[in-house]
Amino acid sequence: MSTPGIKVLYIDDEENNLQAFKASFRRLYEIYTALSAEEGLKILQNVNIHIIIADQKMPNTTGVEFFKSIIHTYPDPIRILLTGYTDIEALADAINHGDIYRYITKPWNDLELHNSIKNAYDAYRAKIDLRNKINELEKTNEELNRFIYSISHELRAPLVSMMGIVDLVKMENMYQSSGEYWSLIENCSNKLDYYIQKTVQYYKNNKTVTEQTDIQFDAVIADLVELYAYSDKETRFTIHVNQTAAFVGDIFRIEVILGNLISNAIKYQKSNEPNKKVDIAIDVNALQAEITITDNGVGILNEHLEKIFTQFFKSKHHPGTGLGLFIVKEALNRINGKISVKSILNQGTAFKITIPNAK
Amino acid sequence: MQNNTRKVLLIDDNEIDLKINSRIISLTQIFESIITCHSGEEALSYIHRHLNQPEALPDFILLDIQMPEMDGFEFLEHFKILPAHFIQRCPIAMLSSTLDFGDITRAEANPYIIKLLKKPLNPAELSALFI
């Protein structure tokens, strides 16, 4: 029943009590005793104490006063208060200001005190373990931050140089000079860049705190369409924005959501469709924004509709990265938005999003 | 911006990017000549050396953001205390592969930056600055 290594400090102005405590528990714990708060403090300064037991009624400094005085300097040890009489006021004070774990009446019962000390030690371990875990998590988090930073800088910079070289090859009319090799390199670089961008986007969505700003949907959507339609001039966009009220929302996530959906609407067009089109309809009122993005592209198989929002889901015929819609769903979750999808294979897909107005 | 721009100064610690961007710029024929510097320090010392020779000074700067020791933003701190006649003739665009939100907002907020261009340098986007 011995639990060695538990360091207990017992403070009491009555020498007899200290002796009795030692006699009962010296085989069970590493015991330190002090006749006054001042003496107790000296021991605390030199020994890493786990549990402090203090008598309430002592000259100069009472037990509660002592506990209060060390609450910031020695927050870790678990405190047990001993009193010879039931002093409700002292007790209330102890609980409210002294961070007391247990209250035990004198004369103590050995078994009760022993159990209290054991429980107190468990509480001590839990406290320390929790703090270590938090430190560990903070460290991991910081490493993750650095890792993402290096992905978005160090890892991407040389890739972007490669993309620049491919651009030069095109500008100097050498793109066809080695069969399809240049176009293969270009494909691979673009794919890698897309993955990097999506990874960073996913991470930012998880980390960034929601920031509410005024949103003018007509301006936002025009910018996004310009950004994503840049590489594809064939798709025709029809945009209707009907914003009857001011809208307040998280612009970063709304751009992530709409950007991914618009880029998908362009990406999943039928290659032989002469009339590629995307319709975007936005209705904004005081309660919410309702956005529908409809394309006449390849569509989604019925049995896939359930899975398209899960991470790394890819369809066999038109594989993507399996990240775009997953990020859309994650970002919507953060801002309490909803998404639904309707699709007919080979005819097109319509995504409908609702985002609450935070105004 | 005016059409009589002649000299561009590229500041980038990455040799390959300097080479690529010099080539892209020379193909666009927007500039008569290109000055390349591998660091902000080198660029500042070039500018200081030629303050009395306006014909040798750049009319436009393309500035990388991530560089060792003096990064693009620190370069701007030194740039803004250069003589006014030079600052007025020489607008700056940042050219970076950054995806970092902080970098992007910082660049957009800086009064000396007319545009944040993304690498790889798009000739059409660059030309658009001079129309």
pLDDT of residue B5: 56
Sequence-separated (6 or more) residues with CB below 8 Å from residue B67: B11, B12, B13, B39, B40
Residue-number span of the structural domain to which B88 is assigned: 7-128
CB-closest option in A160, A171, A252 to B97: A160
What backbone phi and psi angles, to 5 degrees, belong to A213?
-135, 165
User: Is pLDDT at B83 greater than 80 in this prediction?
Assistant: yes
List Cα–Cα distances, A306 to A252, A340, B73, B112, in angstroms: 26, 10, 47, 50
In DSSP terms, B96 is beta-bridged to B118
Sequence-separated (6 or more) residues with CB below 8 Å from residue A90: A56, A62, A64, A83
Distance between CA A160 and CA B20 in Å, rounded? 11
Find the residue in B nearest to A145 (Cα).
B100
Mutate to test the interface with A, among B26, B96, B97, B101 (most CBs of A within 10 A): B97
Q: What is the 3-state secondary structure (H, E, C) of A220-277?
A: HHHHHHHHHHCCCCCCEEEEEEEECCCEEEEHHHHHHHHHHHHHHHHHCCCCCCCCCE
- Residue A155, chain B, CB below 8 Å: the answer is no
Would you put residue A348 in left (φ > 0), alpha (ψ -120 to 50) or beta?
left
pLDDT averaged over chain B?
Answer: 91
User: Is pLDDT at A78 greater than 50 in this prediction?
Assistant: yes
pLDDT of residue B3: 47
Domain ranges of chain A: 7-108, 142-207, 212-356
Instruction: List chain B residues with CB under 8 Å of A208.
Output: 101
**Contact present, B117 and B82 (Cβ < 8 Å):** no
pLDDT of residue A3: 54
Cβ-defined contact of B16 to A204 (cutoff 8 Å): no
In a domain, B2, yes or no: no
Domain count, chain B: 1
pLDDT of residue B2: 47
Cβ-defined contact of B120 to A167 (cutoff 8 Å): yes
Convert the pLDDT of each residue in A181-221 to its tens digit.
999 999 899 889 988 888 888 887 877 778 888 999 999 99
CB-closest option in A161, A172, A208 to B16: A161
Distance between CA A327 and CA A331 in Å, rounded? 6
What's the rounded mean pLDDT across residues A173-179?
92
Residue B120 sits in a domain whose CATH number is: 3.40.50.2300
Q: What is the 3-state secondary structure (H, E, C) of A263-331?
A: HHHHHCCCCCCCCCEEEEEEEECCCEEEEEEEECCCCCCHHHCCCCCCCCCCCCCCCCCCCHHHHHHHH
pLDDT of residue A226: 85
Instruction: List chain B residues with CB under 8 Å of A160.
Output: 97, 119-120
Q: Is A187 helix (H, G, I), strand (E, B) or coil?
A: helix
Chain B residues bordering chain A (beta-carbon distance below 8 Å): 14, 16-17, 20-21, 23-24, 27, 66, 97-101, 119-123
Instruction: List chain B residues with CB under 8 Å of A158.
Output: 16
Convert the pLDDT of each residue in A108-140 to its tens digit.
999 999 999 999 999 999 999 999 999 999 999
Percent of chain B with pLDDT over 70: 96
Convert the pLDDT of each residue in A317-331 to its tens digit.
777 777 889 999 999
Distance between CA A354 and CA A337 in Å, rounded? 5
In DSSP terms, A295 is beta-bridged to A278, A349
What's the rounded mean pLDDT across residues A165-171?
95
**Contact present, B18 and B8 (Cβ < 8 Å):** no
Distance from CA of B118 to the nearest CA of A (A): 9
Topology of domain A7-108, CATH: Rossmann fold (3.40.50)
User: Is 3.30.565.10 the CATH classification of the domain at A212-356?
Assistant: yes
Q: Report which of B46, B49, B94 is spatially closest to residue B74, judged by C-alpha positions.
A: B94
- Residue A161, chain B, CB below 8 Å: the answer is yes
What's the rounded mean pLDDT across residues A297-313?
87
Distance linking the first and last C-alpha atoms of chain B: 7
Instruction: List chain B residues with CB under 8 Å of A148.
Output: none
In a domain, B1, yes or no: no
Distance from CA of A173 to the nearest CA of B (A): 12
Instruction: List chain A residues with CB under 8 Å of B20.
Output: 161, 164-165, 168
Decide which of A348 and A306 is more confident: A348
Instruction: List chain A residues with CB under 8 Å of B14.
Output: 157, 161
What's the rounded mean pLDDT across residues B15-41?
95
User: Is pLDDT at A2 greater than 60 in this prediction?
Assistant: no
pLDDT of residue B48: 96
Decide which of A99 and A321 is more confident: A99
- CB atoms < 10 A from the CB of A255, how many? 17
Q: Which of A200-209, A251-260, A302-311 has the lowest mean pLDDT?
A: A200-209
User: Is pLDDT at A31 greater than 80 in this prediction?
Assistant: yes
Instruction: List chain A residues with CB under 8 Å of B99.
Output: 152, 156, 196-197, 200
Cβ-defined contact of B119 to A200 (cutoff 8 Å): no
What backbone phi and psi angles, to 5 degrees, belong to A8?
-115, 130
